[in-house]
Structure 1
């Protein structure tokens, strides 16, 4: 029964999509935020409530706030250069976590944030400009590495670690350190970003990545001193899994975004207990994001363990396909990893805010 339940949870995935993936989906981000809500100390909880609830927003906690940066992905730029929030008629479900922010004022904030952070870098994963703000959700460090460092391939001044550092600076009332190209206008925006990005940081495929040659063998971008567009897998988005659901095109990254179905979209007692057992972070607060990224990179080693990659056959939209040494064993291991990472994300989000507002 356990194996069947895990398999069913794994199958609740979405088809290959050229748009940027959202770590954990909104349910996972809500779980991370919900865990943190329960671990906040009184001073931090009061600050969070005050910052998140103003004018048109009421009753917003970290659980409801955490999906906000994915709502920003509904903003599009038209040929006249103007930005608009547009609901995808084919995916109305994307709007479920965005309803707390559907007032005129909050919708304007979303559009304004996207516009300010659109062209500070170029991001064209599928040949179309997607807006620089989408790069804030991930970094792609090769799994051959055992640490995250700014000098590695797959990192840049507008990646996930840099975005978290920028949001922390704003919450602390400090200027965003150069050369980070972020426009975060106030503490509310910073907190909305941080609640989400800490969740992203704990999804293994938002930190670690494989780079493959034309035969599906690992290559090392740090040895080559560059990232070859023909070898990068975009955190698994370019890897098709035809094993999970035969005759459907599903990518490996989206499978890792999917959380165990029994968790719902709020903290469970089991996850809160696991979060309470997460060891406290060491060193200065400013060093935590990179240290947490290193921890997740090591988890990504396990996420890619036992996988075999081959070139995809046309007309498959992906570059490569993946097979498994043992698919059921892999699903069980992935389930356990996801639960542990969600608990870590919630624990560390709370730890960070408790440290900023002791």
Structure 2
């Protein structure tokens, strides 16, 4: 593996470990009920939400032929795109890029010039332990990402060489009235901010 490829992979992995559904998952028994994999080895995992669809309370009515988004894909794409103003659907690709690009640069500049709180690892922690600590840190957020939805129609589904849990995830109403999209977008912003600074810190220490 070349150094440029190694750098690309490292940046990718550092970002990935700050996405909650890359670290946490939900498990279900054969009846579709949430179960503990430490107590029941026959439970099925949700593959980080890749096989579950997601229905949000602020979702506009879907037109005929439009598919529901995937739970995992929402965190990879929708929650990130929501960091920027929603552009008219009639806007062409080049016009959309012209609109978003300055906003991206502004966001990157803001993140790069303001260090987030609690992003640096204690000096006593070996670099080899960073990934484990970052994963432990994101787990409570992964738990909340799952607790904020109601799982329905959960069933076993064959995926290549294994059987996984599939179904639907519907946003639960919240007493604080903060909807899932807003919470997830704020979370994504914070985690991307930390990931960028942590990557820079890691590169300074290993290069």
**Take 1:285 and 1:322, find their aligned partners in 2: how far apart are those partners?**
37
Decide which of 43, 47, 53 is 1:234's aligned counterpart: 47
Task: Indicate the residue corresponding to 1:95 in structure 2.
Answer: none
What SS does the corresponding residue of 1:299 show, helix, strand or coil? helix
Q: CA RMSD in A?
A: 2.7
Out of 182, 190, 193, which is 1:340 matched to? Answer: 190
Inter-partner Cα distance in structure 2 for 1:206 and 1:334:
14
Distance 1:331 1:274 in 2: 25
Offset at residue 209 of structure 1 (A): 0.6
SS in 2 for 1:280: coil
Q: Who is 2:112 aligned against?
A: 272
Q: Tell me if the contact between 1:206 and 1:235 (Cα under 8 Å) persists in the aligned partners.
A: yes
Checking the alignment, whether the CA contact within 8 Å between 1:307 and 1:323 is kept in structure 2 is: yes
The 8 Å contact of residues 312 and 320 in structure 1, kept in 2 or not, is answered as yes
What corresponds to 1:351 in structure 2?
Answer: 201
Q: Does 1:253 align with 2:72?
A: yes
**8 A Cα contact 2:55 2:171, kept in partner:** no
Q: Distance in 2 between matches of 1:320 and 1:251?
A: 10
Give TM-score scaled by structure 1 length: 0.42
Unaligned runs of at least 5 residues, structure 1? 1-184
Gaps of 5+ in 2: 85-99, 160-164
Specify the alignment match of 1:321 in structure 2: 168
Q: Shift in Å at residue 347 of structure 1?
A: 1.0
Highest RCO, 1 vs 2 (Cα 8 Å, sep ≥ 6): 2
Shift, 1:330, TM fit: 1.5
Q: 1:299 to 1:273 in 2, by over 3 A?
A: farther
Task: Summarize deviations over 1:100-142 as a string: whole Å, max 9, x none.
Answer: xxxxxxxxxxxxxxxxxxxxxxxxxxxxxxxxxxxxxxxxxxx
1:278-300 CA distance string (max 9 Å, x none): 43202111111111111111221
Q: How far apart are 1:214 and its partner, in Å?
A: 4.3
- CA positional deviation for 1:268: 2.9
Superposed displacement of residue 333, structure 1: 0.9
SS of match in other structure, 2:121:
coil
